[in-house]
Amino acid sequence: MIDDLPLLPLDAVLFPEGALDLRLFEPRYLDMAKEALRDGSLFGICLIARGHEVGAPATPQPFGTLAHIAHWDMVDLGILEVRVVGGERFRLLSHRVGGNGLVSGRIEPVATPPVQPIPGEYARLVPLLRAVIDDMGEKAPPQPHRFFDAFWLGCRWSEVLPIPTLARLKLLELDDALVRLEVVQRFLEDKGVLR
C-alpha cells in the first residue's frame, strides 16, 4: 500500500513501460513535478472519471499506473514539458483533494506478471507491431522493446489501437496478458487489418 500518492488525472491512459508527453502549467502539477524530479519520487496517472484536466480537481477512475519523469524541459517560463514513463499498475482505494487542489490517493500496487512467451496463435501480432513502432519515430515506446513478452506486446497494442480511452482503461485493468492479446487480435480482425 501507498497511503498518499500524488495523482494526475488525465484524459489519457498510461501503460506499464509506455510513455506520455505532457505539458504542465498549473501550480499544483508544477509543484508535484518539482518534488518528483528532486526526490526521484513517483506519482500516479489515472483516467478522469468526472471533470476536466484543467481547473477544478477531477475525480479519477479507480485504476491507474505509477509514473516517473524520464525527461523534462522548460521551454517557456511556467510551462514544464515532461515525458513520463509508466511503472506498475495500481488500484485506487481512496482519494482526497489537498488545499492546493492536488488529488492524492491510497493505492494498492498490482504486480506486473512474469515474462510470458507469445503463443503461436498471436505470433502475427508481433511483425505488425514492429512496423507500427518503426513508423512512430520519436513517439515510439521507450526501449527495451520486448516483442517476446505477451504482457509488453499487449500493452503496446493497447496504446496504439484507435479506441476510446475508457476501452483503453479496460485493457489496462486486465490481469491476463493472453486475454488482452485476444481482445487486440479480434479488434484487428474485425477491422480487416489481420486476416
Q: What is the pLDDT of residues 167-187, one digit of tens each?
A: 999 999 999 999 999 999 999
Q: Which residue has the higher pLDDT, 150 or 78?
A: 150
**When comparing pLDDT for 99 and 5, which is higher?**
5
Helix orientation angle between 165-173 and 177-190, rounded to the nearest 10 degrees: 150
Is a pLDDT exceeding 90 seen at residue 195? no
Segment 188-194 shows an average pLDDT of 93
Q: What is the pLDDT of residues 32-78, one digit of tens each?
A: 999 999 999 999 999 999 999 999 999 999 999 999 999 999 988 88
Distance CA(3)–CA(93), nearest Å, equals 9
CA dihedral defined by 75, 38, 25, 89, rounded to 10 degrees?
110
Q: What is the pLDDT of residue 190?
A: 96
Note the pLDDT of residue 184: 98
Residues 73-106 pLDDT 10s: 998 888 999 999 999 999 999 999 998 999 999 9
| pLDDT given at position 45 | 98
pLDDT exceeds cutoff 90 at 110: yes
pLDDT at 138 over 90: no
